[in-house]
Amino acid sequence: MSSTISSSSANPDLDWSQLKETVVMLNLAIAQIKQSMHEGTSSVDTLAHSFTSLATNLT
């Protein structure tokens, strides 16, 4: 007869492989957010440069 022990916040089941996988996924999410922010900044810079060039050519 097997007994199962449930996991709760008061008595967590610390499965280190799951913890490691969670940390890896969090690091991936952070890297994706940083990349998105970098690409967003680059896009805004390109757009600003385009508008500046357009305005310069119109005057």
**Tens digit of each residue's pLDDT (9 = 90 or more) over 7-28:** 777 777 777 888 899 999 999 9
pLDDT at 4: 66
Stated pTM of the model: 0.61
Q: Give kind and range of the element (H or E) at residue 7.
A: none
Tokens describing residue 51: 């508008």
Q: pLDDT digits over 31-52, tens only? A: 999 999 999 999 999 999 999 9
Structure tokens at 34: 């940083």
What was the pLDDT predicted at 19?
87
Q: What pLDDT score does 23 carry?
A: 95
CA distances from 22 to 4, 13, 16 (A): 23, 14, 10
